[in-house]
């Protein structure tokens, strides 16, 4: 009976040890996967940071035929944002990094719209023979191009902020820092205020 009891204890102990090993492996894998997604997001943000050319048109005309390239978000970027478990490296309980990264999609949409409309009116200006209509088209085109330039500045601020946050998160996702991460609910935090509306949107 003693041997049987001892065998049972060994069995329970072995099961507990095996379960613990599985939990540890899963814990490590989750953190490594999180780091991988963060590095992918950082690479995509660096790509966006490099797409920063503006129209910078003069009052009397474009000054050059070279046009800026409007930014876009890849499906890889969006997938990485969806898969990353941001809570693992959030600084506080109301961290909105994921929302901010997704809002870059709105920024790209707005930039692409202004780019398209500015170029469209500039092309129409070249074909227009009526002087008054030609001037009106150019004024509209220039306003759209100026708006694009201002939105691009704001967009790049968001990208730079995202890059700084990714660098911090990648460091905080290390196994040592995760082991020392407080358990339970995160501390109260404060979300920085949004950027003021662009000049062309203010009343």
Q: Are 101 and 81 in contact (CB under 8 A)?
A: yes
What global pTM score does this model have? 0.81
Q: Is the pLDDT of residue 116 over 90?
A: yes
Contact 74, 45 (CB under 8 A): no
Q: Which residues of 11-32 are buried (b: 16+ CB within 10 A; e: fewer)?
A: eeeeeeeeeeeeeeeeeeeebe
Per-residue 3-state assignment (H helix, E strand, C coil) for 59-105:
CCECCCCCCCCCCCCCHHHHHHHHHCCHHHHCCCCCCCHHHHHHHHH
61 vs 124: which has the higher pLDDT: 124
Mean pLDDT of 83-94: 87
Q: What is the band of 190 on the pLDDT scale with cuts at 50, 70, 90? A: low
Distance between CA atoms of residues 110 and 66, nearest Å: 20
Helix, strand or coil, per DSSP, at residue 58: strand
Mean pLDDT value of segment 4-24: 63
Q: List CB contacts of 156: < 8 A, sequence separation 6 or more.
A: 49, 52
CA distance 153 to 53: 10
Residue 63 scores a pLDDT above 60: yes
Q: 20 pLDDT band (50/70/90 cuts)?
A: confident
Average pLDDT in the 106-131 region? 94
The pLDDT of residue 8 is above 70: no
Band of pLDDT at residue 13, cut at 50, 70 and 90 = low
More confident residue, 149 or 29: 149
Report the percentage of the chain scoring pLDDT > 70. Answer: 80
- Using CA atoms, how far apart are residues 112 and 140, in angstroms rounded to an integer? 16
pLDDT, position 9? 60
- Is 144 within 8 Å of 118 (Cβ atoms)? yes
Report the candidate in 57, 68, 199, 65 with the shortest Cα–Cα distance to residue 138.
57
């Amino acid at each position: 009976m003693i041997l049987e009891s001892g065998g049972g204890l060994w069995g329970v102990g072995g099961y507990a040890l095996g379960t613990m090993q599985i939990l540890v492996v899963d814990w490590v894998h989750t953190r490594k996967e999180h780091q991988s997604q963060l590095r992918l997001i950082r690479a995509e943000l660096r790509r966006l940071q490099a797409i920063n050319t503006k129209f910078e048109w003069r009052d009397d005309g474009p000054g050059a035929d070279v046009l800026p390239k409007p930014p876009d978000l890849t499906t890889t970027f969006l997938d990485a944002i969806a898969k990353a478990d941001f809570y693992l490296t959030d600084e506080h309980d109301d961290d909105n990094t994921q929302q901010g990264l997704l809002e870059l999609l709105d920024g790209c949409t707005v930039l692409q719209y202004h780019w398209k409309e500015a170029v469209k009116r500039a092309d129409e200006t070249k074909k227009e023979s009526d002087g008054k209509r030609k001037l009106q088209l150019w004024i509209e085109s220039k306003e759209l191009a100026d708006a694009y330039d201002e939105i691009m500045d704001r967009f790049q601020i968001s990208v730079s902020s995202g890059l700084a946050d990714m660098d911090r998160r990648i460091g905080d996702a290390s196994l040592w820092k995760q082991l020392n991460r407080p358990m339970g609910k995160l501390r109260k935090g404060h979300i920085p205020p949004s950027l003021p509306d662009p000049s062309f949107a203010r009343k």
